[in-house]
Amino acid sequence: MTNSTQRKFPDIGWIRNINQKRDANSEKFKTLNGIIMLLFPIFISCMAEINQAKSMGNFLTFVAQRPTVMLFDIIIAGMVFLFLLAIFRKGWIAAAVQSFVYMALSITELFKYGTNGNHLILSDMKLFRSVKSLKSFAYIKITPRLVFLCCIVVAVALVIFWLNPKLPRNIGMKRMIAALSCVVVGTGLIVVPGFYNPVYNFFKLDTTAATNAFILNEKFDSNSFLAFIVQTASESFANRLTEPDNYNEEFVDEITDVNIDVSEDFNGGVKPNVLVIMSESYADFRVFDQLNVPDSIYEGFDKASSEGIGGVAISPTYASWTVRSEFELLFGLPVRGLNTPNMPQRDLAEREQPALAQYYKSWGYSTAYVHPFLSSFYSRSRIYGEFGFDKMIFHDDQTGKTDFTVPIEHYGTYVDDSTVYNQLLDLVKTTDQPIYIHTTTMQNHQPYNQGADPTDEFGNYLDWIQHTNEGLTVFLEKLKEVDEPTLVFFVGDHFPSLRGETSVYNQLDLNGDNCSVLYEQKYFIWSNYDADYSTVPDKEVSFFYMPYVLMNIIDAPHDAFIEKMMNFMDTCPIYSTNFDSSIPENDELNVLTYDRVIGEVMSPCPIPEEVLETSKND
């Protein structure tokens, strides 16, 4: 080797010496290495679970109470390790990969539950592309315990690297068989009920159907982290959306064969502006008497309700997954018709969508979507661009890029609701046609650690809600001065995400049996003209019916689809498994939902046929 080469790679000899010693260790400690490879799945399973338990005492209690579940975890970890070992042959690579994946998932689960009180499921990984946005939501706290556990895992990985266990080179076919066997068994555990049901029963896993977030959290308490991840993956696959068996043109025609109300449209031709305000995490905690929340917090909401009309709508979600509520208000369809996915917009066909904005466009309205956050979050700009909006207005704090035409103010972490109200006013005043606007605000999104007392999460949340209501009062007063008839619908998307063990929800002793109140969202409908509220339901209805309530108030024309949905509001006013899992499946609602957002759009649709066909072919 030349001197120049030695200067270029000064440590090549050191690396060679290390590898030579490691190769020698492979034979010298052959028995020890075999024991290490047998014990590693037990070690990594315990480390991931100890991280969740937050103490050795809690972990040992779980093992004592649920030994079969822990055994299941170890067997699954053993399968994963065997697969990685068969792929890489070298034990240290297999151990390093599994250590990283297990601890990364365990830490993510820890932070997720600590942030919003909901546990991690594999479908949450779809949000990985939005990790930069998620950082603004999360409470990330690096504790000495977490650092200590990670150091132990790293130390063990280094020991395995030094001892260098590995499989012989001459067992290629056996490695392939081992890898394929792990894949077959792993796949069966996720996709084959005839296989995984008896396995879960044998190991006594909790397989209760998680019809709401609290039942899901109770399942986590029974299964803990690793078994919970596997079992909920099976549940998610079983609930995946498939084409309904009865989806065909004949059945769709039968569903929409209704008499249409042919009354005069738009109260003699007057088309009011329609402003739909879905307020992030806005909820009325006065429903819990024991919290003694003062009425002054909600003064603006109460005033608007008294001037217009109020009611209760059943939200399809709690604490997170805003896009469920947004889907129901934008489409007038139930997420239950899509098997209640966390992110329904990911299931939509990539074509022009018959969202409700399309109806307003067909009636001569201008349409706009306003959201004071990143356009890329939940892929809104790309997906919602097919919903019939003439304008889409976003604001990105990270880059400073904004579509807002009014000055931006912040309150807490996010854009002040009053800024959004000002943007709505600007759109109303500067648009020649009547306008339909859907806005999803951001001000009241977590984290709630900003305020007089950063540790008083609930107190800070109520301060923000009061600020929203104060801005709301100013906004409605300004609308009274606008010489255009304007209808406002205001509702919160869901109750807020509050931190895990310390949240007010735990103080209220809520569980899977008594949590339905958290899906009841108060709303108000208000107008600056003499609107007729006689058709507003006096009972609770699901979110997805509210757009039709607004259509009735403005006396919009009905096609057969709208008329059928109006009928459903009478015969099936609530269609949500989260609120009430005993409500039976409605084949007609399911088929209509599938038809309009995924299928061939056989039902009556406001999109011109040539436009719809063109978008399908693109």
Domain co-membership, 350 together with 492: yes
Model pLDDT, residue 9: 43
Domain co-membership, 233 together with 276: no
pLDDT at 289 over 70: yes
Q: Is 5 domain-assigned?
A: no
pLDDT at 418 over 70: yes
Domain co-membership, 225 together with 330: no
What's the CATH code of the domain at 528? Answer: 3.40.720.10
Quickly state the pLDDT bin for 414 (edges 50, 70, 90): very high
Model pLDDT, residue 4: 44
Domain co-membership, 283 together with 233: no
Query: Once rounded to an integer, what is the mean pLDDT over residues 119-141?
Result: 61
In one letter, which amino acid is 532? D
Say if CB 232 and CB 210 are below 8 A apart.
Answer: yes
What percent of the chain stands above pLDDT 90? 70
CA distances from 594 to 337, 420, 616 (A): 7, 33, 15
Q: Which pair of tokens denotes residue 460?
A: 């800070």
pLDDT tens column, 364-405: 999 999 999 999 888 899 999 999 999 999 999 888 899 999
Model pLDDT, residue 200: 96
Domain co-membership, 198 together with 284: no
Domain co-membership, 163 together with 276: no
Model pLDDT, residue 172: 78
Quickly state the pLDDT bin for 52 (edges 50, 70, 90): confident
HSE of 169, CA atoms in CB hemisphere, 13 A: 1
Quickly state the pLDDT bin for 137 (edges 50, 70, 90): low
Quickly state the pLDDT bin for 263 (edges 50, 70, 90): low
Instruction: Check residues 289 and 116 and name the one with the higher pLDDT.
Output: 289
pLDDT at 274 over 90: yes
Distance in angstroms (rounded) separating the CA atoms of residues 119 and 225:
9
Distance of CA 431 to the CA centre of its chain: 34
Quickly state the pLDDT bin for 362 (edges 50, 70, 90): very high
Q: Is 360 domain-assigned?
A: yes
Q: Is 290 domain-assigned?
A: yes
Domain co-membership, 232 together with 328: no
Domain co-membership, 383 together with 531: yes
Lowest model confidence (mean pLDDT) among 33-47, 161-175, 470-484: 161-175
Model pLDDT, residue 262: 65
Cα dihedral 276/451/117/439 (nearest 10)? 10
Domain boundary at 238, 256, 282, which? 238
Model pLDDT, residue 118: 76
Q: Is 167 domain-assigned?
A: yes
Domain boundary at 238, 255, 286, which? 238
Distance in angstroms (rounded) separating the CA atoms of residues 591 and 296:
45
pLDDT tens column, 577-607: 999 999 999 999 999 999 999 999 999 999 8
pLDDT at 245 over 50: yes
Domain co-membership, 503 together with 403: yes
Q: Is 115 domain-assigned?
A: yes
Domain co-membership, 497 together with 403: yes
Q: Is 38 domain-assigned?
A: yes
pLDDT tens column, 536-551: 999 999 999 999 999 9
Q: Is 244 domain-assigned?
A: no
Distance in angstroms (rounded) separating the CA atoms of residues 305 and 175:
69
Q: Is 255 domain-assigned?
A: no
Quickly state the pLDDT bin for 56 (edges 50, 70, 90): very high
Quickly state the pLDDT bin for 223 (edges 50, 70, 90): very high
Quickly state the pLDDT bin for 451 (edges 50, 70, 90): confident
Query: Once rounded to an integer, what is the mean pLDDT over residues 458-478?
Result: 96
Query: Once rounded to an integer, what is the mean pLDDT over residues 224-251?
Result: 92
Three-class secondary structure of residue 310 per DSSP = strand
Spatial strand order in the sheet of 391-394: 391-394, 366-371, 435-440, 273-279, 486-492, 520-527, 309-314, 541-542
Model pLDDT, residue 615: 80
Model pLDDT, residue 6: 46
Convert 86-145 into a string of H (helix), E (strand) and C (coil).
HHHCEHHHHHHHHHHHHHHHHHHHHHHHHHHCCCCCHHHHHHHHHHHHHCCCCCCCCCHH
Domain co-membership, 320 together with 221: no
Rounded (5°) CA angle 85-91-95: 85
pLDDT at 134 over 80: no
pLDDT at 222 over 70: yes
Distance in angstroms (rounded) separating the CA atoms of residues 571 and 139:
43
Domain co-membership, 204 together with 288: no
Instruction: Count how many domains the chain has.
Output: 2
Q: Domain of residue 139: give its range.
A: 11-238
pLDDT tens column, 475-528: 999 999 999 999 999 999 999 988 766 678 888 888 888 999 999 999 999 999
pLDDT at 116 over 80: no
Residue 497 DSSP code: P
Write down the pTM of the prediction: 0.89
Query: Once rounded to an integer, what is the mean pLDDT over residues 341-353?
Result: 91
Cis peptide before 454 (omega within 30 of 0): no
Lowest model confidence (mean pLDDT) among 8-12, 27-31, 264-268, 479-483: 8-12
Q: Which pair of tokens denotes residue 618?
A: 């693109």
Cα dihedral 389/391/395/396 (nearest 10)? 80
